[in-house]
């Protein structure tokens, strides 16, 4: 098995520093209208938050109120194609994820660069959310624009429980990202072969 040079670990995980592998550093949405003086008022500031911000913050009571404004808001995409469910999954807001799914949020939606709720939950190591999404029959081997899969991102983050949950449900260890590396290649490069991840050690 080919060793991965230390500087190439981001590439092995499916992309560069702007890829889904490090998406949590870049995702958080800005406010809708920073120039509105009315935002100085508490209530106005709250109503200025978009449905995507509310989902990312886990502001469930405000989110519920927002969803009452009209149909189809539960799957409304932002400019990048991220739905409220994708945002909540990316930030580990499990109660928000549960509520959105109960309200009919589609867990199969892909954003503009094929980011998914499952991949972003795996990136963050949010195992309970990963399991919840898999129970909705999402594609466990879904890949994003650079070929990264949920398992690849979970391995990269050393999220052992998440890796175990994905492997137990049939995630493919041999799927290559565009870099040419598989989750197992990345696990070896990160030292999981030394026993850090029992799920991979026993495969």
Identify the band that residue 176 occupies on the pLDDT scale cut at 50, 70 and 90.
Answer: confident
For the residues 5-22, what does the mean pLDDT come to?
46
Question: Does residue 18 register a pLDDT over 80?
Answer: no
Q: What are the tens digits of pLDDT across the range 141-152? A: 999 998 999 999
Instruction: Give SS3 for 12.
Output: helix
Q: How confident is the model at residue 180 (pLDDT cuts 50, 70, 90)?
A: confident
Domains of the chain from N-terminus onward: 6-201 (1.25.40.20)
Can you give the pLDDT at residue 69?
Answer: 87
Rounded Cα distance, 49 and 152, in Å: 33
Q: How far apart are CA 28 and CA 31, in angstroms?
A: 10
* Cα 186 to the center of its chain, rounded Å: 19
Instruction: Report d(CA 120, CA 174) in Å as an integer.
Output: 20
Q: Lowest-confidence range among 1-5, 62-66, 192-196? A: 1-5
* Conformation bin of residue 25: beta by default, left when phi > 0, alpha when psi is -120 to 50: alpha
H helices of 93-159, in order, are: 94-102, 117-124, 127-134, 150-156
Diameter over CA atoms, the chain: 60
Residue 152 phi/psi, 5-degree rounding, is -60, -45
Is pLDDT above 90 for 23? no
Give 117's pLDDT tier (boundaries 50, 70, 90): very high
pLDDT band at 196 (very low <50, low <70, confident <90, very high): low
> What is the percent of the chain with per-residue pLDDT over 70, rounded to a whole number?
69
**pLDDT: is 59 or 69 the higher one?**
59
Number of residues that this document lists for the chain: 203
The Cα–Cα gap between 121 and 67 comes to: 23
């Amino acid at each position: 098995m080919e060793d991965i040079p230390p500087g190439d670990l981001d590439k092995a995980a499916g992309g560069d520093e702007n890829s889904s592998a490090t998406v949590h550093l870049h995702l958080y949405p800005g406010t809708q209208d920073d120039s509105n003086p009315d935002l100085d008022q508490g209530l106005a500031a709250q109503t200025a938050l978009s449905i995507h911000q509310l989902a990312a913050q886990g502001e469930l009571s405000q989110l519920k109120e927002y969803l009452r404004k009209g149909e189809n808001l539960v799957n409304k995409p932002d400019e990048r194609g991220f739905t409220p469910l994708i945002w909540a999954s990316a930030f580990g807001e499990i109660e928000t994820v549960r509520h959105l799914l109960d309200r009919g949020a589609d867990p199969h939606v892909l954003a503009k660069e094929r980011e998914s709720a499952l991949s972003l939950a795996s990136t963050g190591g949010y195992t309970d959310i990963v399991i919840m999404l898999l129970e909705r029959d999402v594609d466990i081997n879904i890949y994003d624009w650079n070929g990264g899969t949920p398992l690849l991102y979970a391995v990269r983050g050393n999220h052992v429980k998440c890796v175990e949950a994905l492997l137990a449900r049939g995630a493919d260890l041999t799927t290559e990202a565009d870099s040419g590396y598989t989750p197992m290649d990345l696990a070896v490069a990160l030292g999981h072969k030394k026993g850090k991840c029992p799920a991979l050690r026993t495969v």
